[in-house]
Chain A
Amino acid sequence: MSADTDVQLLRRQGRIVVVGASLAGLRAAETLREQGFTGSLTMIGDEPYEPYDRPPLSKQALLGRAQPEDTALPRRRDIDAEWRLGVAAESLDRDAKQVRLTNGDTVPYDRLLITTGTRARPWFHPEEAALDGVFVLRTRDDSARLRRKLTGGVSRVLVIGAGFTGSEVASACRELGLEVTVAERGPAPLVGALGGVIGAVADRLQRKHGVDLRCGVSVTALEGDDVGRLRRAHLSDGSALDVEVAVVSLGAMRNTEWLAGSGVAAGPRGVACDAGCRVFDVNGIVTDDIYAAGDVARSPHPLFDYQFLALEHWGNAVEQAEIAAHNMICAGPDRRPHLWLPMFWSSQFGVNIKSVGVPSLGDQLVVAQGALAAERFVAVYGYRGRVIAAASFDGAKWLGFYEQQIASGAPFPPEYRTVDRRTETLHPIDPAFPDPHLPTHGATVTLTGHSPSGRRVSFIPSHA
């Protein structure tokens, strides 16, 4: 009896359960079938819809250029799965090897893949959050509801939080001709993800497009009228704002509550797994039958000091899912590591923003191409003398080059001549990331420390 025989048996007639039926779950399922898995496959999703694409929900869907219901993800192949949609997983029993659903059903597994992703962080005050006119934006339904509201004759929208989602919502509102106020606790938009130097460019961009941007200010209360409709927002500077719509864009929360008590290393920062996507238990011992991928997973990355990274990135979800699926049905030596370089994009105020690497790790920054003042540039981030990240405004096509610079540990600052270099020498400056102890909500790369076990973390130098 060898491990190889077990794997063969698993591939033929094993039971694989995927909890989380979105991008990562779907791509994993497709990879399993692609690689010859013929056993049973169960897809569990708390939303009633088959997997759909989220990036358009804060962009084209709000503008009416795409319908939220038309965002179903294209299928690479038939996956022959049993779909359990509209019912969430409630708990995990590792001893019995089964997942319990909120409707009381139990689903047994030989291999489990956790792709439960994240949800929008709700407004902290539940009664205020329930007011008519208070929105979050994460799901298809969120997007459809918000679109209806925005096109239903409102005049002013308050966006709470100027991370990527908040900024995209503000951009869409301006394009729809609505007055927008953005309240951001930090010193500038996008500051958590890209730092204050680039944040200042985003700041200018918003104001140029007519956004009433208020930084260094937080919303302290949302006030409703006597029939429960939002009518006013109160800000920390003592001012108040008459608004009918508030979009709460305070980042995401990882869907790990259902794993509480299961003994796997899951917590608010995600589900800890190794580079092969195998989930750790609370003792830091790797399991061999439970895997994680996508926004909910956090895994160590050699390029970033082996810190555990949690990435809310579309491309990461796809690749990590493919690797998790591959590793689930392989014997040890055939397994592959997930070493994806963080990468994400955004589209707002007519500008394409893209980033590779982990900007928030940067201790220095140079503008390698273009100029901040032109709102068209590539900024390169350095960390202890090597290139660690790059971010571009309308310069995305260059980032493949900088990605290779990061992967090869190229020295910082870059000293070569390039096209569109505006200064004879590049002068590194402080990228101005906010104090990591202060919570912001712009980051989509989260450094979550070194420990595999959520319980043992005493200090986490998180920029998110």
Chain B
Amino acid sequence: MTSGTLSAQITDYANRADPYPLYAELRKQPVRREDDGTFLVSTYYEVRNLANDPRLSNDTSNRPPGYGRPGQPPPESGLPPSFIFTDPPVHDRLRETITRPFGPPHSPRFLDGLRGELAKVVTELLDAFEGRDEVDIVEDFAYPLPVTAICKVLGVPREDEPRFHGWADALASGVDPQAGGGSGQEKAQRARQDLGAYLTDLIETKRRHPGPGILSALAPEMTPADLEATAVLLLVAGHETTVNAITNTTLTLLRHPDILDRFLKDPDLAVPLIEEVLRYESPVQFVPWTTALDDIDVAGTTIPKGSPVWLMLAAANRDPKRFKNPDRFDPDRKDNEHLGMYTGIHYCFGAPLARIELHLAVPELFRRVKFSRLLQDPPPYRANAVLRGPRHLPVAIEGLTA
């Protein structure tokens, strides 16, 4: 393997089903410079420290000319970046404003209040398995739930939800560094425009006629452009990641029948089991949008000011220096401080929502469905290397209990 080719191999679709040997290769050099001057950081402590380092920026406009600037809308669009692509103080102001109607301390019961509706969605999706001997866990189960959840959070009318599903799909492919300039990027741009137009109307409606959801609460607090960018972010970041987490949990359990047996006997295993999936199959495999604001010395290497930095979460989560037998799926792991939800000020905003969704979906899926086997292993994957997950997960099932 020659130097400088690893990032290309990681984004190469041929390695999507099993990128872990590449990550192991990457970890041999914890801080690795690619030929274009991008630095890949792949070991646990180095990733964790950098994610918490104030010299690292999430605002890619700090990159010198010539580098990609993911997350930054073209200057002529006049649109603001969403808060994940900003630094303090802008980031803190936006994130705090958005947290106000979303979680504690001001709205500790908001997410909890969605449980009933989301549980109903899970029940309906599983009811539809009746009489079938084959289902696609992605299309038939994992996919519909998170979009519904985000729609409930935002306060999108139920009848508009199907349109959201289409936009979410198109936008997620825009996060992929590989998709740069390709048809995925164009599709994402168009979806972004359509979604933007829809949201502008919706925000205006919510401003005049407040209803449930955070858009109504935020409409008086934020500029329409910031609020729109936020809504798009929540949709993109909250959708495919959660689909992948639900699908990966299902896939991993079906690959580990001994642990599945334990889980069926002991539903309390759900908590450590789901956390272990977040480590073992990280829903966001890496964060390719950070930039060094100054020279940073890491593990004996200096990352020069202005360098793009990729933080390889999925590689860090399998670092043997931090996790014993890292390639083993082990829900009994103690002290499982994985980076599956990131760390630092950009820690996953939707983490509590994602955990609610996972804990509603996974135990109920395995309680009600009697699985026979995976029909395709490995399953076909989506193109996206960052939000990595199966496109389909066909499984044979033997029955459904009420």
Q: A369-B88, A376-B92 are in contact. Are A418 and B54 (CB under 8 A)?
A: yes
- Contact of A400 with B293 in the complex, beta carbons under 8 Å: no
Kindly identify, within residues 410 to 424 of chain A, every residue whose CB is under 8 Å from any CB belonging to chain B: 416-420
Interface centre among B54, B55, B56, B57 (most CB of A within 10 A): B54
Kindly identify, within residues 112 to 169 of chain B, every residue whose CB is under 8 Å from any CB belonging to chain A: none
- Contact of A416 with B88 in the complex, beta carbons under 8 Å: no
Bound-state Cα–Cα, A401 to B52, Å: 6
Q: A369-B54, A398-B54, A401-B54 are in contact. Are A417 and B88 (CB under 8 A)?
A: no
Set of chain A residues within 8 Å of B88, measured between Cβ atoms = 369-370, 419-420
Q: Verify if A397 is at the interface (C-beta below 8 Å from B).
A: yes
A75 to chain B, nearest CB (A): 15
- Contact of A401 with B49 in the complex, beta carbons under 8 Å: yes
Kindly identify, within residues 355 to 370 of chain A, every residue whose CB is under 8 Å from any CB belonging to chain B: 368-370
Kindly identify, within residues 279 to 309 of chain B, every residue whose CB is under 8 Å from any CB belonging to chain A: 293-296, 305
- Contact of B49 with A417 in the complex, beta carbons under 8 Å: no
Q: Verify if B87 is at the interface (C-beta below 8 Å from A).
A: yes
Q: A417-B55, A418-B55 are in contact. Are A370 and B49 (CB under 8 A)?
A: no
Set of chain A residues within 8 Å of B293, measured between Cβ atoms = 416-419
With beta carbons under 8 angstroms apart, the residue of A374, A394, A419 that contacts B54 is A419
Set of chain A residues within 8 Å of B53, measured between Cβ atoms = 401
Q: Verify if A404 is at the interface (C-beta below 8 Å from B).
A: yes
Bound-state Cα–Cα, A131 to B95, Å: 47
Q: A376-B92, A397-B344 are in contact. Are A419 and B52 (CB under 8 A)?
A: no
Set of chain B residues within 8 Å of A368, measured between Cβ atoms = 54
Set of chain B residues within 8 Å of A370, measured between Cβ atoms = 88-89
A46 to chain B, nearest CB (A): 33
Bound-state Cα–Cα, A378 to B53, Å: 13
Bound-state Cα–Cα, A56 to B295, Å: 41
Q: A370-B89, A398-B54, A401-B54 are in contact. Are A417 and B294 (CB under 8 A)?
A: yes
Set of chain B residues within 8 Å of A400, measured between Cβ atoms = 49, 52
Bound-state Cα–Cα, A418 to B54, Å: 5
- Contact of B55 with A420 in the complex, beta carbons under 8 Å: no
Set of chain A residues within 8 Å of B56, measured between Cβ atoms = 419
Of chain B, the residue at the smallest CB distance from A374 is B89
A421 to chain B, nearest CB (A): 8
With beta carbons under 8 angstroms apart, the residue of A376, A397, A416 that contacts B52 is A397
Interface string of B48-92 (1 = CB under 8 A from A): 010011111100000000000000000000000000000111001
Of chain A, the residue at the smallest CB distance from B88 is A420
A358 to chain B, nearest CB (A): 21
Q: Is the interface of B mostly helix, strand, loop or mixed?
A: loop
Bound-state Cα–Cα, A394 to B91, Å: 13
Set of chain A residues within 8 Å of B57, measured between Cβ atoms = 419
Set of chain A residues within 8 Å of B295, measured between Cβ atoms = 416
Interface string of A368-401 (1 = CB under 8 A from B): 1110001010100000000000000010011011
Bound-state Cα–Cα, A324 to B57, Å: 41
Set of chain A residues within 8 Å of B344, measured between Cβ atoms = 397
Interface string of B258-283 (1 = CB under 8 A from A): 00000000000000000000000000
Of chain A, the residue at the smallest CB distance from B293 is A417
Bound-state Cα–Cα, A420 to B52, Å: 14
Bound-state Cα–Cα, A76 to B111, Å: 29
- Contact of A376 with B49 in the complex, beta carbons under 8 Å: no
Bound-state Cα–Cα, A401 to B296, Å: 12
Kindly identify, within residues 425 to 454 of chain A, every residue whose CB is under 8 Å from any CB belonging to chain B: none
Bound-state Cα–Cα, A398 to B92, Å: 13
Set of chain B residues within 8 Å of A397, measured between Cβ atoms = 52, 344-345
Bound-state Cα–Cα, A400 to B51, Å: 11
Of chain A, the residue at the smallest CB distance from B305 is A417
Bound-state Cα–Cα, A398 to B87, Å: 13
B298 to chain A, nearest CB (A): 12
Interface centre among A394, A398, A418, A419 (most CB of B within 10 A): A419
With beta carbons under 8 angstroms apart, the residue of A401, A416, A419 that contacts B87 is A419
Bound-state Cα–Cα, A374 to B345, Å: 18
Of chain A, the residue at the smallest CB distance from B108 is A65
- Contact of A404 with B49 in the complex, beta carbons under 8 Å: yes
Q: A401-B49, A404-B49 are in contact. Are A420 and B294 (CB under 8 A)?
A: no
Set of chain B residues within 8 Å of A401, measured between Cβ atoms = 49, 52-54
Bound-state Cα–Cα, A368 to B296, Å: 17
Bound-state Cα–Cα, A378 to B49, Å: 17
Bound-state Cα–Cα, A169 to B308, Å: 47
Interface string of B322-353 (1 = CB under 8 A from A): 00000000000000000000001100000000
Q: A401-B49, A417-B293, A418-B293 are in contact. Are A376 and B89 (CB under 8 A)?
A: yes
Of chain B, the residue at the smallest CB distance from A368 is B54
Kindly identify, within residues 34 to 56 of chain B, every residue whose CB is under 8 Å from any CB belonging to chain A: 49, 52-56
A63 to chain B, nearest CB (A): 11
Bound-state Cα–Cα, A370 to B88, Å: 8
A386 to chain B, nearest CB (A): 17
User: Hey, which bits of chain A sit against chain B, CB under 8 A?
Assistant: 368-370, 374, 376, 378, 394, 397-398, 400-401, 404, 416-420
A-B contact pairs, 13 of them (CB 8 A): A369-B88, A374-B89, A394-B92, A397-B345, A400-B52, A401-B53, A416-B55, A416-B296, A417-B55, A417-B294, A418-B293, A420-B87, A420-B88
Given contacts A370-B89, A376-B92, A398-B345, 17 further A-B contacts (CB under 8 A): A369-B54, A370-B88, A374-B89, A378-B54, A397-B52, A398-B52, A400-B52, A404-B49, A416-B55, A416-B293, A416-B296, A418-B293, A418-B294, A419-B55, A419-B57, A419-B88, A420-B88
A-B pairs, top 3 by smallest CB distance, nearest first, are A418-B54, A420-B88, A419-B87
